[in-house]
Structures are given as structure tokens and as C-alpha cells.
């Protein structure tokens, strides 16, 4: 694959996808990486690969604080890589150091979605420890109240994903990156 923006340093930066669970970060990230000719990484998958256990197990054994410490290390390492597309976990923006690193080291894209879409996309998921609650809607609303302003605070690009195929969202992101590259001095 040829890098789409190999002659333009402004867009050769890494692209970091942020957004709530169920917004499509992994699916869109894979499509976007293919379109841009960049490697794709997923911070949650990397944590699972390195620990040999799933995220739910880490939450069970170490709690959310233990998971966030692992996530902070992975975000620091992966966001240092040049020219990748990285899908982050939904809560990666909670730590100020993660927000700072993502914003400084690449182009942050916020995949915005509604609570209804999140409910539909996460209903079959077994590995979402924060949704192990009787009222999933209330939990998603609570998470969004805290996280939405954080996503928006570091996003250079925001794309709505509701009811859209990953390829269409990736195409919109690619267009936005091209426009930003053309506008850069």
C-alpha cells in the first residue's frame, strides 16, 4: 500500500480515534488505515495481547484504576509511533496525560455517536465491564456526560457515525485530513 499523504508532512502524522464505546473506532480505524496506507493499532487489543487476558479480567483483578495505568503506558508508547492509525479505548481521554499526548502527537478524530447507537452496537458485547449494570442506558449517559467534553477538547476532526458504514466514516475522515493538509501553511 502506498501512503496516501507521503508528500505532505502535515497529514503524515498519526491519526488517533477517540469516542465512546460502540462508536466504531476499531472498524473505522481499520478502514481508515487501509485508505491511508498506514498501520492500524488498537490500544485495547494491544493491552489484551501483552497481558494475555481480556479487559474484563483486568477490571476484575485490578479495578478500573489498574486498567487505566496499563492504558496510560500503552497510549504513551503507541502515540509515539509515526504514521499509524490508533483506535483508543472509550475512557482513554479520562487521564490528562493521555489527552495531552494524543493532541500533541497526531491528529485526533472524535467519532461521535448517540446513546441509542451505542446501546445497539454494544448489546452483544461480553467484554465491556463498565456496562455490567442493570441500566446500561443510564451508565452510557453518565459516561457521555463526563467524556464528551474531553473528546471534543482534543479533537481536530469530529465525525458522526450513527447508522453509517465504517467505510463511509473512514472516507469522511480521509476527506477532512486532505482538506486540513491543503489548508496547512
pLDDT in tens, 73-109: 999 999 999 999 999 999 999 999 999 999 999 999 9
Task: Give me the helix-helix angle, 136-154 and 96-105, nearest 10°.
Answer: 50
Domains of the chain (ranges; CATH) run: 14-183 (3.40.50.300)
* Helix/strand/coil for 11: coil
Residue pair 11/180 in contact (Cβ under 8 Å)? The answer is yes
The predicted model scores a pTM of: 0.89
Q: Which three cell numbers stand for residue 121?
A: 452496537
Question: Would you say 143 and 149 are in contact if contact means Cβ atoms under 8 Å apart?
Answer: no
- The reported pLDDT for the residue numbered 80 is 94
Amino acid at each position: 500500500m502506498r501512503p496516501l499523504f507521503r508528500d505532505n508532512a502535515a497529514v503524515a502524522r498519526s491519526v488517533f480515534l477517540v469516542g465512546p464505546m460502540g462508536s466504531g473506532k476499531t472498524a473505522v480505524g481499520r478502514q481508515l488505515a487501509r485508505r491511508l496506507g498506514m498501520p492500524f493499532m488498537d490500544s485495547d487489543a494491544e493491552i489484551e495481547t501483552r497481558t494475555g487476558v481480556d479487559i474484563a479480567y483486568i477490571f476484575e483483578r485490578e479495578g478500573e484504576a489498574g486498567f487505566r495505568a496499563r492504558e496510560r503506558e500503552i497510549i504513551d508508547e503507541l502515540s509515539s509511533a509515526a504514521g499509524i492509525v490508533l483506535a483508543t479505548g472509550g475512557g482513554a481521554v479520562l487521564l490528562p496525560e493521555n489527552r495531552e499526548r494524543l493532541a500533541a502527537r497526531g491528529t485526533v478524530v472524535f467519532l461521535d455517536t448517540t446513546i441509542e447507537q451505542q446501546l445497539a452496537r454494544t448489546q452483544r458485547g461480553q467484554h465491556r465491564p463498565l456496562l455490567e449494570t442493570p441500566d446500561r442506558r443510564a451508565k452510557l449517559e453518565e459516561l457521555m456526560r463526563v467524556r464528551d467534553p474531553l473528546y471534543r477538547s482534543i479533537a481536530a476532526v469530529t465525525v458522526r457515525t450513527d447508522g453509517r458504514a465504517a467505510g463511509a466514516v473512514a472516507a469522511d475522515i480521509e476527506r477532512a485530513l486532505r482538506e486540513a493538509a491543503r489548508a496547512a501553511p
